[in-house]
């Protein structure tokens, strides 16, 4: 199929005098030769119908163009005019009132007739013919010649063309199937596309990360050794992936084709899911980003190391601004630069993250609160009236938390509210709260998102908890997969309560971690800050220094020695 995109679209800006007037052969410069062409276009396109100047620089006459719904074989103009719903733009041409579907154009074709095809057009064809008329020529004879140009051989002064509209439904008859086995860590795999080309066309292939997965920088995959059969040609345009630009471009004649290529992974790469994206273009002129047939494969795996999510930290300053510190996965500097995510948080008398603040699945769009965001750091906040509010975690391009949802009143009965992670093993994050008499209450999460019914009826799970002045939990510190709780008593001794997975008795007997923890005025179980798969903790001393306690995964010795990770943290009145 000959594709003449450069001469078809007014909207593309590709038609120039140089394109149309430059000689295309060794013909004498003053011998004018014109030619028509056929084009396949999409609904909504704006194709031109005007001959190409194949050769010649002398252009003193005019060109008569006739259009109709039938082939240009009748000098009387049977079927003259545009198909129903088509709208023409005459450019620098005129339309003589005594003729239907006729355009008379001056020589140099800087701006020539085009037509707006309805977006609802189905498979239709606009036929056109042309005839060159010298400056003193007979217009009527030229009109008859243009209308009957299809019944005579093209001679450089007469000719025909047609604009065929192929509908979206027709374009969708061109399909691509995907056979995409996993890419080995440090190895090579051969993948395959099965292309059914109902029409001749152009195909492009690129790759992108699948949405809703953890992401980590990793060496790119490489593509090469593309093969195909007869009736098709392919070439590699870009050798690394994933990327936003195509890796492979192919041209197909009608038929069934197989395209194969190799993907090679880097040794030690991180595991990711990717998708193949194809675009198939059957048109000489389409509508930008709309007319191509786009298909996307199911995700396939690039095998490698499992990605551990980063974990971070929230901080509230004295004027109520909320800040977030995303994790870096580096033990030496585990927290990145802060970013402000809210104001007005000074109105809350208690704030807690129900589980550690963690990296969510990547998406180009906001991932609204859902199963995909569960356990990534939902927040609860109690205001001065005793009302508890719930902030669902969300990810993507936007705020890290959705607008608040009212849970209920009466929460002033508690002097400690602490996120507990998933204590009962049902997949939903839970809460513990201590009342003024030292009773500990368990609130099991419901997982509901539609309303404020976020917790089940409370269950009393202990007494004597007034012995503690600090509670911190939400993550597994003991390596058994269950969320644990840290509690500091008033003498500065830190205790670990291992989770049991049972709502009625959520914690086992306490285990002494160590003394001297009265040096700290803030304590947070952060999740894994150091990329070793174990939950860590941070503590702030009264000089404003923040200390990292790397987790060990052992209940008896849950932390290694502390490491200072920065000063100035006394700018905040709450870490969580």
CATH of the domain at 501: 2.120.10
Residue with tokens 């109690």: 382
Q: For residue 358, tell me if it sits in a domain.
A: yes
Same domain, 282 and 353: no
151 occurs within a structural domain: yes
Average confidence (pLDDT) over 82-95: 94
**Would you call 291 helix, strand, or coil by DSSP?**
coil
User: What is the Cα 321 distance to its own chain's centre?
Assistant: 30
Which of 165, 192, 223 is at the close of a domain? 165
Model-wide pTM > 0.85: no
**Upper half-sphere CA count for residue 567 (Cβ side, 13 Å):** 1
* Phi-psi sector, 71: left (phi>0), alpha (psi -120 to 50), beta: beta
Q: How many domains does the chain have?
A: 3
Range of the domain at 504: 313-575
Q: What angle do CA 161, 165, 171 make, to 5 degrees?
A: 130
In a domain, 308, yes or no: no
- The pLDDT of residue 404 is above 70: yes
Q: Is residue 243 domain-shared with residue 141, that is, in the same domain?
A: no
* Residues 365 and 466 both lie in one domain: yes
Quote the pLDDT of residue 28: 42
Q: Could you report the per-residue pLDDT of 114-131, keeping only the tens digit for each?
A: 999 999 999 999 999 999
Q: What is the pLDDT of residue 109?
A: 59
Q: Residue 29, class by beta-carbon neighbours within 10 Å (0-12 exposed, 13-18 middle, 19+ buried)?
A: exposed
| Cα–Cα distance, 458 to 388 (Å, whole number) | 14
Question: For residue 372, is it within any domain?
Answer: yes
Does 6 have pLDDT greater than 50? no
Q: Does residue 342 fall inside a structural domain?
A: yes
Please say which residue of 237, 271, 302 terminates a domain: 302
User: Confidence class of residue 397 from pLDDT cuts 50, 70 and 90?
Assistant: low
Q: Helix, strand, or coil here: 238? A: coil
pLDDT of residue 4: 37
98-110: b (≥16 Cβ within 10 Å) or e: ebebbbbbbeebe
Do residues 423 and 467 share a domain? yes
Note whether residue 157 is domain-resident: yes
pLDDT at 476: 98
Burial of 26 from C-beta contacts in 10 A (0-12 / 13-18 / 19+) = exposed
Instruction: Give yes or no: residues 94 and 198 share one domain.
Output: no
- Give the whole-number percent of the chain exceeding pLDDT 90: 85
Q: 280-294, pLDDT tens digit by residue?
A: 999 999 987 788 999
Distance in Å from the first CA to the final CA of the chain: 64
Segments in 25-172 forming alpha helices (H): 139-147, 168-171
Q: Which of 146, 165, 184 is the last residue of a domain?
A: 165
* pLDDT score for 484: 98
Residue 145: helix, strand or coil by DSSP? Answer: helix
Cβ-count burial of 365 within 10 angstroms (0-12 exposed, 13-18 middle, 19+ buried)? exposed
Q: What is the mean pLDDT of the chain?
A: 92
Q: What is the mean pLDDT of residues 317-323?
A: 98
Is 71 in the same domain as 187?
no
Instruction: Mean pLDDT check: name the lowest of 208-217, 427-436, 524-533, 534-543.
Output: 208-217
Domain with 262 in it: what CATH number? 2.60.40.10
Classify burial at 304, counting beta carbons within 10 Å of its beta carbon; exposed 0-12, middle 13-18, buried 19 or more: buried
Query: Of 507 and 25, which is predicted with more confidence?
Result: 507
Tell me which residue of 39, 34, 29, 31 sits closest to 52, measured CA to CA: 34
CATH of the domain at 128: 2.60.40
In this structure, the chain runs to a length of: 576
Q: Is 139 within 8 Å of 147 (Cβ atoms)?
A: no
Query: CA of 37: how far to CAs of 7, 8, 123, in Å?
Result: 10, 10, 18
If asked whether residues 363 and 289 sit together in one domain, one would say: no
Do 80 and 221 share a domain, yes or no?
no
507 and 557 belong to one structural domain: yes
In-domain check, residue 203: yes
Same domain, 123 and 191: no
Instruction: Identify whether residues 264 and 371 lie together within a single domain.
Output: no
Residue 106: left (phi > 0), alpha (psi -120 to 50), or beta?
beta
523: its two tokens: 């304590």
According to the model, what pLDDT value does residue 172 have? Answer: 97
| Rounded CA separation 498/501 (Å) | 9
Between CA 543 and CA 567 the distance in angstroms is 8
346 has a pLDDT exceeding 60: yes
Query: Are residues 554 and 478 in contact, defined by beta-carbon separation less than 8 angstroms?
Result: yes
Q: Does 488 reside within a domain? A: yes
Flag whether pLDDT at 83 surpasses 90.
yes
pLDDT for residue 75 is more than 60: yes
Stated as kind and residue range, the H or E segment containing 575 is strand 572-575
- 250 lies in the same domain as 356: no
């Amino acid at each position: 199929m000959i594709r003449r995109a450069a001469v078809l679209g007014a909207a593309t800006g590709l038609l120039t005098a140089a394109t149309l007037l430059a000689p295309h052969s060794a013909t004498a410069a003053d011998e004018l030769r014109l030619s028509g062409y056929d084009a396949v276009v999409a609904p909504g396109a704006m194709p031109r119908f005007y001959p190409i100047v194949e050769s010649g620089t002398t252009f003193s006459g005019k060109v008569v163009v006739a259009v109709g719904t039938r082939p240009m074989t009748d000098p009387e103009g049977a079927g003259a005019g545009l198909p129903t719903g088509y709208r023409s733009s005459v450019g620098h041409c005129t339309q003589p009132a005594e003729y239907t579907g006729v355009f008379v154009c001056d020589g140099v074709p800087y701006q020539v007739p085009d037509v707006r095809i309805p977006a609802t057009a189905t498979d239709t064809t606009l036929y056109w013919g042309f005839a060159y008329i010298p400056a003193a020529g007979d217009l009527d004879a030229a009109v008859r010649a243009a209308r009957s140009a299809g019944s005579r051989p093209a001679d450089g002064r007469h000719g025909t063309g047609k604009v065929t509209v192929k509908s979206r439904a027709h374009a969708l008859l061109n399909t691509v199937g995907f056979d995409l086995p996993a890419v080995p860590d440090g190895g090579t795999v051969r993948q395959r596309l099965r292309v059914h080309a109902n029409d001749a066309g152009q195909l492009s292939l690129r790759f992108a990360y699948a949405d809703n997965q953890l992401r980590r920088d990793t060496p790119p995959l490489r593509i090469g050794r593309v093969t195909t059969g007869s009736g098709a040609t392919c070439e590699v345009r870009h050798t690394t992936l994933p990327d936003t630009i195509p890796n492979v471009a192919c041209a197909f004649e009608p038929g069934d084709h197989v395209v194969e290529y190799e993907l090679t992974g880097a040794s030690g790469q991180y595991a990711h899911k990717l998708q193949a994206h194809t675009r198939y273009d059957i048109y000489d002129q389409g509508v930008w980003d709309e007319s191509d047939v786009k298909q996307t494969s199911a995700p396939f795996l690039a095998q490698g190391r499992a990605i551990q999510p980063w974990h971070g930290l929230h901080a509230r300053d004295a004027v109520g601004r909320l800040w977030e510190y995303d994790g870096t996965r580096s033990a030496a500097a585990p927290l990145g630069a802060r970013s402000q995510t809210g104001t007005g948080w000074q109105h809350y008398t208690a704030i807690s993250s129900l589980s550690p603040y963690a990296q969510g699945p990547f998406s180009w769009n906001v991932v609204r609160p859902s199963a995909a965001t569960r356990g990534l750091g939902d927040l609860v906040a109690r205001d001065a009236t005793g009302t508890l509010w719930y902030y669902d975690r969300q990810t993507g391009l936007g705020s890290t938390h959705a607008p608040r949802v009212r849970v209920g009143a009466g929460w002033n009965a508690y002097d400690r509210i602490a996120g507990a992670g998933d204590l009962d093993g049902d997949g939903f994050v839970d809460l513990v709260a201590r009342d003024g008499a030292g009773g500990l209450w368990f609130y099991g999460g419901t997982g509901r998102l539609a309303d404020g019914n976020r917790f089940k009826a409370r269950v009393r799970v202990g007494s004597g908890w007034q012995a503690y002045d600090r509670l911190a939990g939400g993550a597994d510190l003991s390596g058994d997969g269950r969320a644990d709780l840290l509690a500091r008593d008033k003498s500065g001794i830190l205790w670990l309560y291992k989770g049991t997975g049972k709502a009625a008795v959520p914690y086992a007997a306490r285990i002494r971690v160590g003394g001297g923890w009265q040096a700290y005025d803030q304590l947070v179980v952060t999740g894994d800050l150091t990329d070793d798969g174990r939950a860590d903790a941070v503590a702030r001393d009264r000089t404003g220094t923040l200390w990292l306690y790397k987790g060990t995964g052992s209940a008896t010795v849950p932390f290694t020695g502390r490491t200072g990770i920065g000063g100035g943290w006394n700018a905040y009145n709450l870490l969580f």
